[in-house]
């Protein structure tokens, strides 16, 4: 368990330090410093007049040529790395933007479906209310003395069955059960 914890911490620390290193190495001040170093090394290695004006620099012309090549190579590599990193970041952001656009599209489609379902449910509720009103008109609902409600108001009414309804239902069930046994 301790080994796994140490391994996880090591990976996390390694990822953080690698990210920090590459963000510092490809930052503008570092790239400018490497560019200035390459320009200075170029001037010392390739401009012979500097060697005549400042004789101590003449001794470092061969070293300056090597530093110039290394600095230019490092500069090209770091600029390439920075460009590739920015492209990867742009690709990731593009994918994220496409995902968000897909989510918005799905949400709008879901909202349209929800609106359609709401209208269907309201139509079904109006039909059920109409059937309830027909039933109440035909059999009575126990609150017939109340004035009818407006169509915009939803009222749940108590519908008491007419007298003798339960006896009739029990007789009907007894007949069916007696017919099934026989």
Instruction: Decide if 141 contacts 159 (C-beta within 8 A).
Output: yes
Residue 34 has pLDDT above 90, yes or no: yes
Which sequence spans correspond to the domains of the chain? 2-181
What is the token pair recorded at 156?
Answer: 């749940």
What is the token pair recorded at 28?
Answer: 């503008």
Per-residue CA distances from 78 to 43, 71, 75, 95, 99 (Å): 22, 10, 5, 25, 31
The pLDDT score that the predictor gives to residue 91 is 92
Per-residue CA distances from 1 to 6, 12, 13, 42, 50 (Å): 9, 17, 18, 55, 64
What pTM value is reported for the model? 0.47
Task: Look up residue 149 and give its DSSP letter.
Answer: P
The pLDDT score that the predictor gives to residue 1 is 59
**Tokens 């012979």, residue?**
48
The pLDDT score that the predictor gives to residue 20 is 77
CA dihedral of residues 77, 83, 88, 91 (deg, nearest 10):
-160
More confident residue, 26 or 69: 69
């Amino acid at each position: 368990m301790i080994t796994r914890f140490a391994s996880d911490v090591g990976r996390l620390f390694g990822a953080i330090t690698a990210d920090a290193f590459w963000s510092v190495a490809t930052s503008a001040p570092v790239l400018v410093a490497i560019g200035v170093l390459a320009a200075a090394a170029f001037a010392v290695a390739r401009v012979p007049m500097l060697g005549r004006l400042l004789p101590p620099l003449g001794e470092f012309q061969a070293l300056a040529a090597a530093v110039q090549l290394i600095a230019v190579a490092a500069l090209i590599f770091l600029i390439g790395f920075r460009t590739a990193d920015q492209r990867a970041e742009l690709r990731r952001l593009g994918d994220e933007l496409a995902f968000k656009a897909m989510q918005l599209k799905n949400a709008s489609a879901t909202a349209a479906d929800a609106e359609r379902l709401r209208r269907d449910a309201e139509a079904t509720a109006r039909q059920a209310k109409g059937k309830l009103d027909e039933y109440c008109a035909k059999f009575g609902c126990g609150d017939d003395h109340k004035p009818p409600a407006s169509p915009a108001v939803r009222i749940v009414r108590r519908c008491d069955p007419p007298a003798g309804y339960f006896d009739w239902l029990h007789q009907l069930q007894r007949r069916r059960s007696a017919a099934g046994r026989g």
